[in-house]
Chain A
Amino acid sequence: MRYADFTPYDIILLLQGLGVTLALFVGTTLIGLFLGLLLAIVHHYRIPGCRPVIVVVTEALKNSPVLVQLFLVFFGIPAFLHIRMTPVEAATLTISLNTAAFAFVVFRSGIESIDRDQIEAAKVFGLGRSQILRLVIAPQAAAFAVGPLVGILVNQLQVTSLISVIGVFDLTKIGNILNLRTLQPFIVWAVIGLIYYLAAKALAHAGGRIEAALRKSVKWGGI
């Protein structure tokens, strides 16, 4: 067997890469959704001075290349602040913030889609802010947001491939390694692409099920 041949061990390598990709994706998704929701709530309650800051930061994140953001975080911030940052830390920070920016927009429109009249009714009946948020706004905003969010997350899964550039051993990086060793780019990148495709399809499928379940429990049929 020549050094350049594919070996059974390559499958383990691919699975490891996929594991890193998925772990990073899940981690940044959880942080990003939480942060995006938090920003939407802060934005909704017009906490003084916060609105312009949130809008400027999220607009910057949405409208600049993720690769540039990644370079800024990995090379720029350590140089500027004289701190050390590992590739995984930089990748987690960058993708989380990026997801948060897109999630913020979806959550914000979810909240804004809710009629003010019902909120007035809830107020008059004595419900407090957090009760209104939890019982009136959140269920409706969630049903509104889940579809667009799944779309965003499928895209963010692909975006994680960029982190291979700063040296995280994700699926794409493994592809790079296999490619350099075997010199069979067509096979390697087709397989890598297929794995991303399957992961994205599984994610979209799961999202579709969540959406269906949410809409079933809120079967008023609106929105």
Chain B
Amino acid sequence: MIVAENVEKRFRDVEVLKRVNLRVEPGEVVTILGASGSGKSTLIRCINGLETLSGGKITVDGHDVSTKAGLVAARRASATVFQLFNLYPHMTALQNITLAPVEVLKLPKTDAEARARALLDRVGLSAQADAYPQQLSGGQRQRVGICRALAMQPRYLLLDEVTSALDPEMTGDVLRILAALAAEGTTMVFVTHEIEFARHISSRIVFLEQGELIVDLPTAKFFAEDGGLAVPRIRQFLSKMKKD
């Protein structure tokens, strides 16, 4: 379980997260919605330890990310997929995927490669195993990014606007893969602007507004007239996103 309690994050004088509380149980898909700058990505970066908290506490399966040992354990339990892929450019798709399993999980190289090839096959990239990131399209790169995360066999998948840098067609490829993962019961924390997709795969939706988590509802309730839509800010956000 991922638990965020009263999480605060300040960059100098700017409060990016204000006393945010969030629980993610195993098997859940929790989508974080909110306008740009509302703190969605920062929350993910606090969970995976790329940002240090200004206040409050985050634990992943009981491991406190603000302690050194806790962060190591928390990072073992989760894996992140990034908006801009963040692949290692000097390594092939296969090497990108096997690096952490070999170096961190100490998996034998042949096992790690077998695992990586199976994942690449699953996302339709078996032919690109030896291609370098520069030789791949954005959608292909992001699929490699997803394989890289899955190769760690994480309990939690953290997805930080993973389709924001992709065109609609490539977005479709990536979302299909994520939908399949959700259907298998993969636990995900999903930051996105793809509202219809979020509605389709999420068990819960939370809404961040200027660093405050103002709504946390089961998906059906979030889109119901007497639920999320009763909150003026959310109604406004959803109608605006639909127009775009």
Which A residues lie at the B interface, using CB under 8 A?
Answer: 115, 117-118, 120-127, 131, 135-136, 139-140, 143, 218-222
Chain B residues within 8 Å of A125, by CB: 75, 79-80, 99-100, 104, 148, 152
A126-B72, A127-B104, A136-B88 given as contacts; is B132 within 8 A of A121 (CB)? no
B87 contacts chain A at the CB level, 8 A cutoff: yes
Cβ-closest chain B residue relative to A136: B88
Q: Are B99 and A135 in touch, CB under 8 angstroms?
A: yes
Chain B residues within 8 Å of A115, by CB: 86, 89
Q: Are A220 and B89 in touch, CB under 8 angstroms?
A: yes
Q: Are B134 and A220 in touch, CB under 8 angstroms?
A: yes
B90 contacts chain A at the CB level, 8 A cutoff: yes
B207 contacts chain A at the CB level, 8 A cutoff: no
Q: Are B76 and A126 in touch, CB under 8 angstroms?
A: yes
How close is A144's CB to chain B, nearest CB, in angstroms? 10
B122-142 contacts to A (CB < 8 Å): 132-135
Chain B residues within 8 Å of A127, by CB: 99-100, 103-104
A124-B50, A126-B76, A222-B134 given as contacts; is B103 within 8 A of A135 (CB)? yes
Chain B residues within 8 Å of A131, by CB: 103
Chain B residues within 8 Å of A120, by CB: 50, 82, 86
Q: Are B48 and A124 in touch, CB under 8 angstroms?
A: yes
Q: Are B75 and A220 in touch, CB under 8 angstroms?
A: no
- What separation, in Å, do the CA atoms of A218 and B90 have in the docked complex? 5
Chain A residues within 8 Å of B132, by CB: 219-221
Chain B residues within 8 Å of A117, by CB: 82, 84, 86
Task: Assign chain B's interface to a size class.
Answer: 20 to 34
A interface, by DSSP: helix, strand, loop or mixed?
helix
B49 contacts chain A at the CB level, 8 A cutoff: yes
Cβ-closest chain B residue relative to A220: B132
Tell me which of A126, A139, A220 contacts B133 (CB under 8 A).
A220
Q: Are B90 and A140 in touch, CB under 8 angstroms?
A: yes
Q: Are A143 and B90 in touch, CB under 8 angstroms?
A: yes
Cβ-closest chain A residue relative to B50: A120
- What separation, in Å, do the CA atoms of A142 and B62 have in the docked complex? 41
Contacts across chains A and B counted by CB atoms under 8 Å: 68
How close is A24's CB to chain B, nearest CB, in angstroms? 35
The 8 closest A-B pairs by CB, nearest first: A125-B100, A121-B86, A220-B132, A126-B104, A117-B86, A218-B90, A126-B75, A124-B80
Q: Are A124 and B49 in touch, CB under 8 angstroms?
A: yes
Chain B residues within 8 Å of A126, by CB: 72, 75-76, 100, 104, 152
B11-60 contacts to A (CB < 8 Å): 48-50
How close is A196's CB to chain B, nearest CB, in angstroms? 36
Tell me which of B84, B100, B134 contacts A221 (CB under 8 A).
B134
Q: Are A220 and B80 in touch, CB under 8 angstroms?
A: no
How close is A13's CB to chain B, nearest CB, in angstroms? 48
Extra inter-chain contacts (19) besides given A118-B88, A122-B88, A126-B75, CB under 8 Å: A115-B86, A117-B86, A121-B82, A121-B86, A121-B148, A123-B50, A124-B48, A124-B79, A125-B79, A125-B104, A125-B148, A126-B76, A127-B99, A127-B100, A135-B103, A220-B90, A220-B134, A221-B132, A221-B134
28 residue pairs of the A-B complex, CB under 8 angstroms, read A115-B86, A118-B88, A120-B82, A120-B86, A121-B86, A121-B87, A121-B148, A122-B88, A122-B100, A123-B49, A124-B49, A124-B79, A125-B99, A125-B100, A125-B104, A125-B148, A126-B75, A126-B76, A127-B99, A131-B103, A135-B103, A136-B88, A139-B90, A143-B90, A220-B89, A220-B134, A221-B132, A222-B89
- What separation, in Å, do the CA atoms of A126 and B149 have in the docked complex? 11
Q: Are A118 and B86 in touch, CB under 8 angstroms?
A: yes
Chain A residues within 8 Å of B86, by CB: 115, 117-118, 120-121
Chain A residues within 8 Å of B88, by CB: 118, 121-122, 136
Q: Are A118 and B75 in touch, CB under 8 angstroms?
A: no
How close is B20's CB to chain A, nearest CB, in angstroms? 20
How close is A71's CB to chain B, nearest CB, in angstroms? 44
